[in-house]
């Protein structure tokens, strides 16, 4: 993973993120920065729904949108709302290794069997559901996807600073991604 920028001390945070909500996120998560008190969210964090991912951030610091693969394409209105009404001017888009939204076709049978057994679905309905929606949520490679999503969000809202972030499941640390 030569694209990862490790954040082990405040000076590891690139100057463009120092003193910003993105820099604070990295400090809270990796450097045990003492929590400050926030009355309004400063950042929107887009991250995966994976239950193994946990953020160490203060109350009211962030709006957090959790979607499979940190895919915000189908949460566009929520992102716009956080910017327009919530007033955020920073977004951290966090991807992680071992994401379940990578290579969805390999999980097709598991998905269908799970919906039938655990969800009470009819097999044909579960098959149709997978066929109709899996392509919308497949992200391919985690890092390539998040970098493309960061680019898309920057084009959509050019005044908002958007950072690509990576997390390793094993230790929950955050890394910036080289672009």
Residue 52: pLDDT over 90? no
Give the separation between CA 155 and CA 158, rounded to whole angstroms. Answer: 6
Give me the domains of the chain, ranges plus CATH numbers: 4-101+140-177 (3.40.1050.10), 103-138 (no CATH)
* Residue 107 DSSP class: G
Task: Report whether 34 contacts 175 (CB < 8 A).
Answer: no
Supply the pTM of this predicted model: 0.92
Give the separation between CA 70 and CA 142, rounded to whole angstroms. Answer: 9
Nearest by Cα to 93 from 31, 157, 177, 155: 177
Residue 59: pLDDT over 90? yes
- The owner of tokens 């049978």 is 109
Instruction: Render pLDDT for 61-84 as a digit per residue (tens, 0 to 9).
Output: 999 999 989 999 999 999 999 999
């Amino acid at each position: 993973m030569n694209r990862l920028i490790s954040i082990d001390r405040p000076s590891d945070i690139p100057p463009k993120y120092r003193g910003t909500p993105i820099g604070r996120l990295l400090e809270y998560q990796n450097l045990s920065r003492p929590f400050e008190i926030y009355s309004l969210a400063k950042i929107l964090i887009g991250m995966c729904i994976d239950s193994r991912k946990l953020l160490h951030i203060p109350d009211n610091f962030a709006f957090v949108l959790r979607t499979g693969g940190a895919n915000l394409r189908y949460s566009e209105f929520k992102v716009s709302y956080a910017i327009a009404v919530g007033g955020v001017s920073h977004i951290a888009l966090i991807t992680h290794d071992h994401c379940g939204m990578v290579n969805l076709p390999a999980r097709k049978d598991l998905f269908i069997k799970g919906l039938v057994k655990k969800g009470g679905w009819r097999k044909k309905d579960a098959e149709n559901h997978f066929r109709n929606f899996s392509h919308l949520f497949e992200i391919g490679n985690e890092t390539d996807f998040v970098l493309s999503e960061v680019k898309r969000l920057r084009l959509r809202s050019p005044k908002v600073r958007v950072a690509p972030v990576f997390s390793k499941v094993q230790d929950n640390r955050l890394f910036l991604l080289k672009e």
